[in-house]
Amino acid sequence: MPAAKTSYVCLSCRVSYKQCYDPWRERTCPHCAGALTYAGSAFAAPPKRDRAAWRTLTVLLNAGAGFHKGCCGGPGYRPRTLREVRERMAYARRTGEPAATALRRVDLP
């Protein structure tokens, strides 16, 4: 049985690649030779022309909120717009909650 594949993303080129997971191997983008970011196995890339979605994705991945499958099948909630990201980041600064945790919240209190 072949190894499961997971997604790696080049945020500057706005492309994603499915590759076998190996935490010890450094992956580079074939277009710009920059480092690829590990996105997780439940990742679905937005269209390349959707700049706002890629900016949102950049914030999520840099904060450590990846797209990993849980025991119930999916990665859970992730914000889809920059407005939702701004609200959750402001909440994290206000309360002292880690950014990755605040970005995964469905509703803000």
Q: Where are the domains of the chain?
A: 5-103
The pLDDT of residue 40: 86
Compute the radius of gyration of the chain from its Cα atoms. Answer: 15
Digit-by-digit pLDDT tens for the chain (109 residues) are 566 788 999 999 999 999 888 888 899 999 999 999 999 888 889 999 999 999 999 998 998 888 877 666 566 778 888 999 999 999 999 999 998 888 888 887 7
The pLDDT of residue 106: 84
The pLDDT of residue 81: 87
The pLDDT of residue 1: 53
The pLDDT of residue 104: 85
The pLDDT of residue 75: 67
Q: Please check whether residue 101 is in contact with residue 77, taking contact to mean a CB–CB distance below 8 angstroms.
A: no
The pLDDT of residue 32: 94
- Centre a 10 Å sphere on the Cβ of residue 10 and count the other Cβ atoms it contains: 20
Q: How far is the C-alpha of 86 from the C-alpha of 63, rounded, in Å? A: 13
Query: Angle between the 82-95 and 51-63 helix axes, to the nearest 10 degrees?
Result: 30
Q: How far is the C-alpha of 90 from the C-alpha of 12, rounded, in Å? A: 25
pTM for the model stands at 0.80
